[in-house]
């Protein structure tokens, strides 16, 4: 199975800050990388697919980059509703696998 | 986008089986595949397996071989997952999610509300 490793595991930031979350795959996955966030008590929500394509309806402050094994999610200016847990997911091969999550907290 | 509604919470004994269902609010899954995932308390997400309802073809992660059965009733707009030989490690929130089949990119783009399955003696 492809292992996905996110960093950091937690992050404190303020409204208006720019934040970056990293995700590394244990083998090359091309651009087959998705990002989700999950608010407490809610189901995950797709933000970014194919490493850098923003899902319809997702604000433009979210962006993704990378290919191969190293990927990045960037939030350009944090809003209160962005404080959540973020997951990366590889969609290159089954079983689809996820990173362990990055909890973004208010500073 | 298809909206998904899942069945209610379950409490099961070790060694037993559980069936969780997922219904398309519009009555059909259209061109979507449906996957099942789970999230143990305070943990990350794990893909269990999926099915393309219009074809009935299912697959699952090797970890669940022999324990999971995923079936679809396309005419009723319902997909069900049966998980057997339950242990405490199967205690989790189980989600169904849609996967578009008409895109070159695999995603889980719409999720059910989740079904809590608790294994307790």
Please write the tens of the pLDDT for every residue from A7-22.
Answer: 999 999 999 999 999 9
Task: Print pLDDT tens along chain B (121 aa).
Answer: 889 999 999 999 999 999 999 999 888 888 899 999 999 998 899 999 999 998 989 999 999 999 999 999 988 999 999 999 999 999 999 999 999 998 889 999 999 999 999 999 9
**Euclidean distance between CA atoms A6 and A12, whole angstroms:** 16
Please give the DSSP secondary-structure letter assigned to residue B64. Answer: G
Kindly list the residues from chain B whose CB atom is less than 8 angstroms away from the CB atom of residue A89: 45, 108
Return phi, psi of residue A82, to 5°.
-85, -10
B40-B44-B50 Cα angle (round to 5): 80
Residue B114 and residue A43: Cβ atoms within 8 Å?
Answer: yes
**Euclidean distance between CA atoms A59 and A76, whole angstroms:** 10
Residue B61 and residue A46: Cβ atoms within 8 Å?
Answer: no
Residue in the structure block whose two tokens are 């069900």: B80
DSSP assignment of A72-93 = EEEESS--GGG-SEEEEEE-SS
Inter-chain Cβ pairs, chain A and chain B, closer than 8 A: 52
């Amino acid at each position: 199975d492809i292992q996905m490793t996110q960093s950091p595991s937690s992050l404190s930031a303020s409204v208006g800050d720019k934040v970056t979350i990293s995700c590394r795959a244990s083998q090359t996955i091309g651009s087959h990388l998705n990002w989700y966030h999950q608010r407490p008590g809610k189901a995950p929500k797709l933000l970014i697919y194919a490493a850098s394509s923003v899902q319809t309806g997702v604000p433009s402050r979210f962006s993704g980059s990378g290919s191969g094994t190293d990927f990045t999610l960037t939030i350009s200016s944090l809003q209160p509703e962005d404080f959540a847990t973020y997951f990366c997911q590889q969609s290159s091969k089954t079983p689809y696998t996820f990173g362990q999550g990055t909890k973004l907290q208010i500073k | 986008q298809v909206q998904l509604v899942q069945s209610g919470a379950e409490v099961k004994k070790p060694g037993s089986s559980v069936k969780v269902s997922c219904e398309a609010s519009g009555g059909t899954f259209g061109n979507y595949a449906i996957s099942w995932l789970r999230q143990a308390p305070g943990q990350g997400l794990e893909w269990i397996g999926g099915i393309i309802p219009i074809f009935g073809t299912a697959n699952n992660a090797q970890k669940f071989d022999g324990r999971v059965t995923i079936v679809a009733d396309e005419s009723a707009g319902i997909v069900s997952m049966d998980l057997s030989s339950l242990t405490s490690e199967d205690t989790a929130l189980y989600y169904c999610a849609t996967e578009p089949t008409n895109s070159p990119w695999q995603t889980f783009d719409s999720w059910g509300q989740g079904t809590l399955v608790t294994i307790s003696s």
